[in-house]
Structure 1
Amino acid sequence: MNSLLWEEAIRFHGHECPGLAIGIKACEAIISKMNIKPNKDEIICITENNTCPVDGIKYVFGCGYDKKNLFYKESGELAFNIFNTNNSDSLRVIYIGKNNTNSKDEYTKYILNGNIDELFDFSEVKYSLD
Protein backbone atom coordinates (compact mmCIF):
# COMPACT_ATOMS: atom_id res chain seq x y z
CA MET A 1 0.00 0.00 0.00
CA ASN A 2 1.28 3.42 -0.93
CA SER A 3 1.58 5.24 2.42
CA LEU A 4 1.46 8.71 0.81
CA LEU A 5 -1.81 7.82 -0.96
CA TRP A 6 -3.21 6.54 2.34
CA GLU A 7 -2.25 9.73 4.22
CA GLU A 8 -3.77 11.91 1.48
CA ALA A 9 -6.96 9.83 1.49
CA ILE A 10 -7.25 10.27 5.28
CA ARG A 11 -7.01 14.04 4.85
CA PHE A 12 -9.67 13.90 2.11
CA HIS A 13 -12.00 11.72 4.20
CA GLY A 14 -11.38 13.44 7.53
CA HIS A 15 -10.34 10.45 9.62
CA GLU A 16 -8.67 7.05 9.47
CA CYS A 17 -11.06 4.09 9.53
CA PRO A 18 -11.49 0.54 8.19
CA GLY A 19 -14.14 1.77 5.74
CA LEU A 20 -11.75 4.16 4.05
CA ALA A 21 -9.17 1.35 3.95
CA ILE A 22 -11.71 -0.85 2.12
CA GLY A 23 -12.28 1.90 -0.45
CA ILE A 24 -8.58 2.56 -1.03
CA LYS A 25 -7.79 -1.15 -1.23
CA ALA A 26 -10.73 -1.61 -3.66
CA CYS A 27 -9.13 1.05 -5.87
CA GLU A 28 -5.84 -0.84 -5.76
CA ALA A 29 -7.70 -3.99 -6.82
CA ILE A 30 -9.57 -2.18 -9.60
CA ILE A 31 -6.37 -0.65 -10.96
CA SER A 32 -4.68 -4.05 -10.91
CA LYS A 33 -7.52 -6.13 -12.37
CA MET A 34 -8.63 -3.61 -15.01
CA ASN A 35 -5.18 -2.15 -15.80
CA ILE A 36 -6.57 1.33 -15.15
CA LYS A 37 -4.34 4.37 -15.27
CA PRO A 38 -5.65 6.95 -12.77
CA ASN A 39 -5.93 10.45 -14.23
CA LYS A 40 -5.86 8.98 -17.77
CA ASP A 41 -8.78 6.55 -17.88
CA GLU A 42 -12.27 7.91 -17.32
CA ILE A 43 -14.08 5.89 -14.68
CA ILE A 44 -17.76 5.65 -13.83
CA CYS A 45 -18.74 3.93 -10.60
CA ILE A 46 -22.08 2.60 -9.46
CA THR A 47 -21.62 2.03 -5.75
CA GLU A 48 -23.91 -0.27 -3.81
CA ASN A 49 -23.19 1.45 -0.50
CA ASN A 50 -22.98 5.04 0.61
CA THR A 51 -20.49 4.71 3.46
CA CYS A 52 -16.82 5.48 4.10
CA PRO A 53 -15.41 3.22 1.34
CA VAL A 54 -16.97 5.48 -1.31
CA ASP A 55 -14.54 8.24 -0.33
CA GLY A 56 -11.71 5.99 -1.51
CA ILE A 57 -13.33 5.81 -4.96
CA LYS A 58 -13.90 9.56 -4.94
CA TYR A 59 -10.32 10.32 -3.97
CA VAL A 60 -8.46 7.89 -6.24
CA PHE A 61 -10.63 8.08 -9.35
CA GLY A 62 -12.05 11.59 -8.99
CA CYS A 63 -15.60 10.30 -9.10
CA GLY A 64 -18.41 12.39 -7.66
CA TYR A 65 -22.18 12.53 -7.62
CA ASP A 66 -22.00 16.11 -8.89
CA LYS A 67 -19.67 15.08 -11.74
CA LYS A 68 -22.18 12.46 -12.90
CA ASN A 69 -19.57 9.68 -12.76
CA LEU A 70 -20.63 8.26 -9.38
CA PHE A 71 -24.06 6.73 -8.81
CA TYR A 72 -25.62 5.05 -5.79
CA LYS A 73 -27.87 1.99 -5.92
CA GLU A 74 -28.33 0.37 -2.50
CA SER A 75 -27.90 -3.40 -2.29
CA GLY A 76 -26.60 -3.81 1.23
CA GLU A 77 -23.21 -5.00 -0.05
CA LEU A 78 -19.85 -3.27 -0.02
CA ALA A 79 -19.68 -3.45 -3.81
CA PHE A 80 -18.56 -1.19 -6.62
CA ASN A 81 -19.45 -1.55 -10.30
CA ILE A 82 -16.66 0.07 -12.29
CA PHE A 83 -16.80 1.13 -15.93
CA ASN A 84 -13.79 2.34 -17.92
CA THR A 85 -15.32 4.53 -20.60
CA ASN A 86 -12.08 4.61 -22.60
CA ASN A 87 -12.26 0.92 -23.50
CA SER A 88 -15.69 -0.30 -22.28
CA ASP A 89 -14.18 -2.63 -19.65
CA SER A 90 -16.22 -3.19 -16.52
CA LEU A 91 -15.84 -5.05 -13.24
CA ARG A 92 -17.86 -5.62 -10.06
CA VAL A 93 -15.76 -5.60 -6.90
CA ILE A 94 -17.28 -6.88 -3.64
CA TYR A 95 -15.54 -6.71 -0.27
CA ILE A 96 -15.46 -10.15 1.38
CA GLY A 97 -12.77 -9.60 4.01
CA LYS A 98 -13.48 -10.58 7.61
CA ASN A 99 -12.92 -8.59 10.78
CA ASN A 100 -11.14 -11.02 13.10
CA THR A 101 -10.15 -8.41 15.67
CA ASN A 102 -11.77 -6.05 18.16
CA SER A 103 -9.37 -3.25 17.23
CA LYS A 104 -10.18 -0.73 14.49
CA ASP A 105 -6.44 -0.14 14.00
CA GLU A 106 -5.71 -3.84 13.55
CA TYR A 107 -8.67 -4.25 11.19
CA THR A 108 -7.47 -1.27 9.13
CA LYS A 109 -3.96 -2.79 8.93
CA TYR A 110 -5.43 -6.16 7.93
CA ILE A 111 -7.23 -4.48 5.01
CA LEU A 112 -4.35 -2.28 3.88
CA ASN A 113 -1.84 -5.15 3.98
CA GLY A 114 -4.18 -7.85 2.71
CA ASN A 115 -4.11 -9.69 -0.59
CA ILE A 116 -6.70 -8.21 -2.96
CA ASP A 117 -7.80 -11.70 -4.07
CA GLU A 118 -8.58 -12.61 -0.45
CA LEU A 119 -10.28 -9.30 0.38
CA PHE A 120 -12.48 -8.97 -2.71
CA ASP A 121 -14.60 -11.02 -5.04
CA PHE A 122 -14.57 -10.02 -8.71
CA SER A 123 -17.47 -10.66 -11.06
CA GLU A 124 -19.51 -9.28 -13.93
CA VAL A 125 -21.09 -5.87 -13.45
CA LYS A 126 -24.58 -6.01 -12.00
CA TYR A 127 -25.86 -2.76 -13.53
CA SER A 128 -26.04 -1.11 -16.93
CA LEU A 129 -25.09 2.47 -17.73
CA ASP A 130 -28.25 2.81 -19.85
Structure 2
Amino acid sequence: MKAVSQSPGDTCIGAGDTDLADVVRFHAHMCPGLAIGYRAARIIMERLGSFRAEDEELVAIVENDSCSVDAVQWITGCTFGKGNFVFRDYGKQVFTVALRPSGRALRVALKRREFRIGEPPHEDREARIQWLLTAPEDLLFHVEEIHLTLPDVAQIRDSSVCDRCGEESMVTRVVHAGPRTLCIPCSKLADQQ
Protein backbone atom coordinates (compact mmCIF):
# COMPACT_ATOMS: atom_id res chain seq x y z
CA MET A 1 0.00 0.00 0.00
CA LYS A 2 1.23 3.46 -0.78
CA ALA A 3 1.19 5.64 2.30
CA VAL A 4 2.29 9.09 3.32
CA SER A 5 3.81 9.32 6.76
CA GLN A 6 2.40 12.30 8.65
CA SER A 7 4.08 11.63 11.96
CA PRO A 8 5.58 8.52 13.49
CA GLY A 9 3.02 5.75 13.30
CA ASP A 10 0.49 7.59 11.10
CA THR A 11 -0.51 6.31 7.69
CA CYS A 12 -2.51 8.76 5.61
CA ILE A 13 -5.07 7.53 3.12
CA GLY A 14 -5.95 10.30 0.73
CA ALA A 15 -6.42 10.91 -2.96
CA GLY A 16 -3.98 8.76 -4.90
CA ASP A 17 -2.43 7.11 -1.85
CA THR A 18 -4.18 3.76 -1.92
CA ASP A 19 -3.23 1.41 -4.70
CA LEU A 20 -6.20 -0.57 -5.98
CA ALA A 21 -3.79 -3.40 -6.79
CA ASP A 22 -3.12 -3.84 -3.05
CA VAL A 23 -6.84 -4.15 -2.37
CA VAL A 24 -7.16 -6.71 -5.19
CA ARG A 25 -4.22 -8.72 -3.78
CA PHE A 26 -5.85 -8.73 -0.36
CA HIS A 27 -9.19 -9.92 -1.77
CA ALA A 28 -7.56 -12.23 -4.39
CA HIS A 29 -9.57 -11.04 -7.41
CA MET A 30 -11.18 -7.96 -8.93
CA CYS A 31 -14.96 -7.87 -9.07
CA PRO A 32 -17.83 -5.36 -9.06
CA GLY A 33 -18.32 -5.78 -5.31
CA LEU A 34 -14.70 -4.93 -4.58
CA ALA A 35 -14.99 -1.85 -6.81
CA ILE A 36 -18.05 -0.70 -4.84
CA GLY A 37 -16.29 -1.10 -1.49
CA TYR A 38 -13.12 0.54 -2.79
CA ARG A 39 -14.98 3.61 -4.02
CA ALA A 40 -17.10 3.86 -0.85
CA ALA A 41 -14.11 3.57 1.48
CA ARG A 42 -12.05 6.07 -0.51
CA ILE A 43 -14.90 8.59 -0.44
CA ILE A 44 -15.28 8.21 3.32
CA MET A 45 -11.57 8.46 4.09
CA GLU A 46 -11.09 11.48 1.83
CA ARG A 47 -14.11 13.33 3.25
CA LEU A 48 -13.15 12.57 6.83
CA GLY A 49 -9.55 13.55 6.08
CA SER A 50 -8.67 10.44 8.00
CA PHE A 51 -5.71 8.22 8.61
CA ARG A 52 -5.73 4.43 8.32
CA ALA A 53 -6.48 2.98 11.75
CA GLU A 54 -3.53 1.50 13.59
CA ASP A 55 -5.66 0.76 16.62
CA GLU A 56 -9.27 1.86 17.21
CA GLU A 57 -9.14 5.49 16.04
CA LEU A 58 -11.70 4.59 13.37
CA VAL A 59 -14.73 2.35 13.58
CA ALA A 60 -16.17 0.83 10.39
CA ILE A 61 -19.71 -0.52 10.29
CA VAL A 62 -20.67 -2.59 7.25
CA GLU A 63 -24.18 -3.79 6.45
CA ASN A 64 -23.32 -6.78 4.23
CA ASP A 65 -20.81 -9.58 3.98
CA SER A 66 -19.97 -9.23 0.29
CA CYS A 67 -16.67 -8.65 -1.49
CA SER A 68 -17.04 -4.91 -0.87
CA VAL A 69 -16.20 -5.20 2.82
CA ASP A 70 -12.70 -6.48 2.08
CA ALA A 71 -11.93 -3.15 0.41
CA VAL A 72 -13.36 -1.29 3.40
CA GLN A 73 -11.17 -3.31 5.79
CA TRP A 74 -8.02 -2.76 3.73
CA ILE A 75 -8.46 0.96 3.16
CA THR A 76 -9.64 1.90 6.65
CA GLY A 77 -7.43 -0.48 8.61
CA CYS A 78 -10.48 -1.56 10.62
CA THR A 79 -10.60 -5.28 11.41
CA PHE A 80 -12.55 -7.75 13.54
CA GLY A 81 -9.37 -8.54 15.45
CA LYS A 82 -8.88 -4.93 16.54
CA GLY A 83 -12.53 -4.68 17.52
CA ASN A 84 -13.22 -1.70 15.29
CA PHE A 85 -14.98 -3.52 12.44
CA VAL A 86 -18.69 -4.11 13.01
CA PHE A 87 -20.84 -6.36 10.80
CA ARG A 88 -24.60 -5.80 10.70
CA ASP A 89 -26.31 -8.43 8.58
CA TYR A 90 -28.78 -6.21 6.70
CA GLY A 91 -27.78 -7.23 3.15
CA LYS A 92 -27.28 -3.59 2.11
CA GLN A 93 -24.32 -2.00 0.33
CA VAL A 94 -24.00 0.56 3.12
CA PHE A 95 -20.77 1.52 4.86
CA THR A 96 -20.27 3.84 7.84
CA VAL A 97 -16.94 4.98 9.23
CA ALA A 98 -16.60 7.06 12.39
CA LEU A 99 -13.67 8.89 13.92
CA ARG A 100 -13.55 7.89 17.56
CA PRO A 101 -11.81 11.06 18.83
CA SER A 102 -14.36 13.47 17.31
CA GLY A 103 -17.39 11.22 16.92
CA ARG A 104 -17.77 12.39 13.33
CA ALA A 105 -19.21 9.71 11.05
CA LEU A 106 -20.00 9.31 7.36
CA ARG A 107 -22.51 6.85 5.93
CA VAL A 108 -22.23 5.86 2.27
CA ALA A 109 -25.07 3.91 0.63
CA LEU A 110 -25.04 2.53 -2.90
CA LYS A 111 -27.91 4.10 -4.84
CA ARG A 112 -30.66 1.98 -6.30
CA ARG A 113 -29.79 0.63 -9.74
CA GLU A 114 -32.33 2.82 -11.59
CA PHE A 115 -30.47 5.92 -10.35
CA ARG A 116 -27.07 4.64 -11.49
CA ILE A 117 -27.47 6.01 -15.02
CA GLY A 118 -25.05 4.57 -17.54
CA GLU A 119 -24.07 1.50 -15.53
CA PRO A 120 -23.34 -1.44 -17.83
CA PRO A 121 -25.37 -4.64 -17.34
CA HIS A 122 -24.20 -7.39 -14.98
CA GLU A 123 -23.27 -9.56 -17.98
CA ASP A 124 -20.58 -7.08 -19.05
CA ARG A 125 -18.43 -7.61 -15.96
CA GLU A 126 -15.27 -5.77 -17.05
CA ALA A 127 -17.17 -2.72 -18.31
CA ARG A 128 -19.21 -2.67 -15.12
CA ILE A 129 -16.09 -2.79 -12.93
CA GLN A 130 -14.53 0.05 -14.90
CA TRP A 131 -17.72 2.09 -14.63
CA LEU A 132 -17.93 1.53 -10.87
CA LEU A 133 -14.33 2.69 -10.49
CA THR A 134 -14.73 5.84 -12.59
CA ALA A 135 -18.37 6.99 -12.47
CA PRO A 136 -19.12 10.26 -10.73
CA GLU A 137 -19.61 9.73 -7.00
CA ASP A 138 -23.11 11.25 -7.04
CA LEU A 139 -24.31 8.62 -9.55
CA LEU A 140 -23.15 5.79 -7.30
CA PHE A 141 -23.67 6.79 -3.72
CA HIS A 142 -25.74 8.72 -1.27
CA VAL A 143 -23.28 10.20 1.24
CA GLU A 144 -24.32 11.75 4.53
CA GLU A 145 -22.73 12.80 7.78
CA ILE A 146 -24.53 11.13 10.66
CA HIS A 147 -24.47 10.96 14.43
CA LEU A 148 -24.12 7.56 16.00
CA THR A 149 -23.24 6.01 19.30
CA LEU A 150 -19.91 4.29 18.87
CA PRO A 151 -19.30 0.85 20.32
CA ASP A 152 -16.98 0.68 23.30
CA VAL A 153 -13.32 0.05 22.60
CA ALA A 154 -12.42 -3.62 22.52
CA GLN A 155 -11.71 -5.27 25.84
CA ILE A 156 -9.95 -8.51 26.64
CA ARG A 157 -12.33 -10.70 28.60
CA ASP A 158 -11.78 -13.74 30.78
CA SER A 159 -12.74 -17.13 29.44
CA SER A 160 -15.05 -19.74 30.89
CA VAL A 161 -15.01 -23.47 30.14
CA CYS A 162 -18.13 -25.01 28.63
CA ASP A 163 -19.45 -27.84 30.80
CA ARG A 164 -20.54 -29.80 27.71
CA CYS A 165 -17.67 -29.58 25.17
CA GLY A 166 -14.82 -28.41 27.40
CA GLU A 167 -13.87 -25.51 25.11
CA GLU A 168 -13.27 -21.99 26.37
CA SER A 169 -15.50 -19.05 25.45
CA MET A 170 -15.42 -15.42 26.52
CA VAL A 171 -17.42 -15.00 29.72
CA THR A 172 -19.60 -12.45 27.92
CA ARG A 173 -20.63 -15.14 25.40
CA VAL A 174 -21.51 -18.09 27.63
CA VAL A 175 -25.01 -19.17 28.59
CA HIS A 176 -25.89 -20.19 32.13
CA ALA A 177 -28.41 -23.04 32.03
CA GLY A 178 -29.15 -23.85 35.64
CA PRO A 179 -25.90 -24.93 37.25
CA ARG A 180 -24.21 -25.48 33.85
CA THR A 181 -22.11 -23.01 31.90
CA LEU A 182 -22.43 -23.59 28.15
CA CYS A 183 -20.91 -22.07 25.04
CA ILE A 184 -23.47 -20.75 22.54
CA PRO A 185 -23.36 -23.78 20.18
CA CYS A 186 -23.79 -26.22 23.09
CA SER A 187 -26.63 -24.16 24.55
CA LYS A 188 -28.43 -24.39 21.19
CA LEU A 189 -27.91 -28.16 21.14
CA ALA A 190 -29.28 -28.38 24.68
CA ASP A 191 -32.36 -26.38 23.59
CA GLN A 192 -33.02 -28.87 20.77
CA GLN A 193 -32.93 -31.91 23.07
Matches within 5 A, 1:32-51: 32-38=46-52, 42-51=57-66
Farther off after superposition, 74-83 or 33-42: 33-42
1:38-71, Cα deviation, whole Å (9 max, x unpaired): 3579210111001100001111111111210101
Conserved 8 A contact 1:82-1:125: no
How far has the Cα of 1:125 moved from its partner? 4.0
The residue that corresponds to 2:126 in the other structure is 105
Contiguous gaps of at least 5 residues in structure 1: none
Secondary structure, counterpart of 1:37 in structure 2: coil
The answer as to 2:144 corresponding to 1:123 is yes
The answer as to 2:44 corresponding to 1:23 is no
Structure 1 residues 125 and 74: alpha-carbon distance in aligned structure 2, compared to 1, 3 A threshold? farther
Q: Which runs of 4+ in 1 moved over 6 A?
A: none
Percent identity, please.
27
2:98 paired residue among 70, 83, 90: 83
How far has the Cα of 1:4 moved from its partner? 6.6
Q: What's the TM-score, normalizing by structure 1?
A: 0.86
Q: What's the TM-score, normalizing by structure 2?
A: 0.60
Separation in structure 2 between the aligned mates of residue 126 and residue 89 of structure 1, nearest angstrom: 7
Conserved 8 A contact 2:65-2:91: no
Structure 1 or 2, whichever has the larger Rg, is 2
Conserved 8 A contact 1:18-1:104: yes
Contiguous gaps of at least 5 residues in structure 2: 1-14, 152-193
The residue that corresponds to 2:89 in the other structure is 74
Separation in structure 1 between the aligned mates of residue 148 and residue 85 of structure 2, nearest angstrom: 13
Conserved 8 A contact 2:103-2:147: no
Secondary structure, counterpart of 2:69 in structure 1: helix
Instruction: Indicate the RMSD between aligned Cα atoms, in angstroms.
Output: 2.4
Conserved 8 A contact 2:106-2:145: yes
Bigger relative CO (Cα 8 Å, ≥ 6 apart):
1
Say how many residue pairs are matched: 130
Separation in structure 2 between the aligned mates of residue 68 and residue 35 of structure 1, nearest angstrom: 22
More helix by share: 1
Secondary structure, counterpart of 1:25 in structure 2: helix
Farther off after superposition, 5-14 or 36-45: 36-45
